[in-house]
Amino acid sequence: MAALAVAETIVWAGLFYVFPALISRWEIDLGWTKTEIAGAYSLALLCAAVGAPVAGRIIDAGHGRVLISICTAAGGVLISLSALIESIGAFYAIWIGIGICLAGCLYEPCFAYLTRVLGERARRAITRITLVAGFAGTVSFPLANVVATFQGWRASVLVFGVLILGVALPLFRYGTCLDSPGEPGESEGLPNAAVRTSPTGRGSLRRAMGTGTFWLLALTFSLIGLSHGIVITHLLPMLAERAVPLSVAVLAAAMIGPMQVAGRIAMMLVEQRVSMQRICSMSFVLMTGAILALTGAGAAPWLLALFVLFQAPVTE
């Protein structure tokens, strides 16, 4: 679990948060508009969404280790190759490829793999991984900008490529060994039956999709993802427009990770006494407060602290 936690932290930092961390530098250095740059990220996320069901079926078939390894390796190569881009077409092509890789190496495939091999015991493992990987933004924003300040943004993406290929990939290989032939479940204290958990049938999915609850939840998660994605992707440019110094903006972005971890711990402490419906309702209230705080951060810098405090629960 420790290996998977560190690996997830690195791929989130190097393939997801690296985009908002460097978007302002791409705009200045390459001369493209924010709209043109953000379009590549939107296509990447769309590819990740389309690829998610395919990744799920591959994991259900028992090939989770192969999928996660290939997507991590390909993502590391692609983010490294982004150091060579000069044209908008190449930029889009690389991020479309990265988007496909995201479907096979971020939280969702990792947690699907854990659910398959651990069954009901996966919840504790997933919680531990999210507690560690919550610091991905804390790694990405400062590291990307420090390296870019001294060596340029191309050196930044190369650093993340090296970390993904040299650290995350071996850790994923080690952490997903339960999907390998000849790796018995007993090596982790698991019964053999747990290593080959049968996937949920498609019939139950079709039944769920026939209910209003499913679609309301889908809409809810989509709105949360849209709000959080817009804010995080454009956070540094928005703060720059409000005359917030880059060092302060990077610090604010980096602190969202620790606050996410704090939010997860708080939720774990109260989940036995407070209903999930109330927790989710409070998250929407805090999300609204975060947006309002960010809007006024230019006139009142102290509101930036409220934004960080309120924004973190959005992803819980």
Average pLDDT, integer, range 169-173: 96
Q: What is the pLDDT of residue 16?
A: 95
* 3-state SS class at 31: coil
Q: Indicate left, alpha or beta for 31 from its phi (over 0: left) and psi (-120 to 50: alpha).
A: left
Residue that terminates a domain, selected from 154, 176, 195: 195
Amino acid at 168: A
Question: Within this chain, do residues 210 and 283 fall inside the same structural domain, yes or no?
Answer: yes
Average pLDDT, integer, range 201-211: 76
Question: Within this chain, do residues 137 and 56 fall inside the same structural domain, yes or no?
Answer: yes
Q: What is the pLDDT of residue 21?
A: 94
Instruction: Identify the band that residue 182 occupies on the pLDDT scale cut at 50, 70 and 90.
Output: very low
Average pLDDT, the chain: 86
Query: Tokens at residue 57, please?
Result: 């079926």
Instruction: Identify the band that residue 190 occupies on the pLDDT scale cut at 50, 70 and 90.
Output: very low
Question: Within this chain, do residues 88 and 105 fall inside the same structural domain, yes or no?
Answer: yes
In this prediction, what percent of the chain has a pLDDT beyond 70? 91
Instruction: Return the DSSP state at 32.
Output: -
Task: Compute the CA torsion angle 30, 32, 38, 43 (nearest 10 deg).
Answer: -90
Question: Within this chain, do residues 86 and 153 fall inside the same structural domain, yes or no?
Answer: yes
What does the pLDDT look like over 272-281, one tens digit per residue? 788 878 888 8
Q: Which domain holds residue 80?
A: 2-195
Please say whether the dihedral angle defined by the alpha carbons of residues 65, 66, 67 and 69, taken in this order, is positive or negative. Answer: positive
Question: Within this chain, do residues 129 and 246 fall inside the same structural domain, yes or no?
Answer: no
Cα 76-44-55 angle, rounded to 5 deg: 75
Query: Tokens at residue 160, please?
Result: 């993340």
Cα–Cα distance for residue pair 64/108, rounded to 1 Å: 11
Amino acid at 104: G
Contact 313, 286 (CB under 8 A): yes
Query: Which residue in 249, 248, 255 sits closest to 311, CA to CA?
Result: 255
Question: Within this chain, do residues 180 and 236 fall inside the same structural domain, yes or no?
Answer: no
Question: Within this chain, do residues 71 and 163 fall inside the same structural domain, yes or no?
Answer: yes
What does the pLDDT look like over 125-152, one tens digit per residue? 888 898 898 899 899 999 999 999 999 9
Cα–Cα distance for residue pair 216/232, rounded to 1 Å: 24
Taking CA atoms, 73 is separated from 22, 80, 102, 134, 180, in Å, by 21, 11, 11, 22, 18
Instruction: Identify the band that residue 200 occupies on the pLDDT scale cut at 50, 70 and 90.
Output: low
Q: What is the pLDDT of residue 181?
A: 45
* 3-state SS class at 312: helix
Rg over CA atoms, the chain: 20
Average pLDDT, integer, range 291-310: 86
Question: Within this chain, do residues 75 and 143 fall inside the same structural domain, yes or no?
Answer: yes
Q: What is the CATH number of the domain that holds 8?
A: 1.20.1250.20
Residue that terminates a domain, selected from 195, 220, 239: 195
* 36 vs 201, more confident: 36
Average pLDDT, integer, range 108-128: 89
Question: Within this chain, do residues 123 and 12 fall inside the same structural domain, yes or no?
Answer: yes
What does the pLDDT look like over 73-96, one tens digit per residue? 999 999 999 999 999 999 999 999
The H or E element spanning position 3 is helix 2-11
Count of structural domains within the chain: 2
Taking CA atoms, 192 is separated from 20, 63, 110, in Å, by 43, 17, 20
Asked whether the predicted pLDDT for residue 65 surpasses 90, the reply is: yes
Of 15-19, 183-187, 259-263, 297-301, which gets the smallest average pLDDT? 183-187
Asked whether the predicted pLDDT for residue 183 surpasses 70, the reply is: no
Instruction: Identify the band that residue 179 occupies on the pLDDT scale cut at 50, 70 and 90.
Output: low
Asked whether the predicted pLDDT for residue 299 surpasses 70, the reply is: yes
Question: Within this chain, do residues 91 and 118 fall inside the same structural domain, yes or no?
Answer: yes
Q: What is the pLDDT of residue 260?
A: 80
Residue that terminates a domain, selected from 195, 212, 242: 195
Question: Within this chain, do residues 122 and 249 fall inside the same structural domain, yes or no?
Answer: no
What does the pLDDT look like over 219-273, one tens digit per residue? 988 888 888 888 888 889 888 888 888 888 899 888 888 888 888 788 778 877 8
Average pLDDT, integer, range 172-198: 56
Q: What is the pLDDT of residue 201?
A: 55
In this prediction, what percent of the chain has a pLDDT beyond 90? 49
Q: What is the pLDDT of residue 187?
A: 39
Q: How many CB atoms lie within 10 A of CB 50?
A: 12
Question: Within this chain, do residues 158 and 307 fall inside the same structural domain, yes or no?
Answer: no
Asked whether the predicted pLDDT for residue 194 surpasses 90, the reply is: no
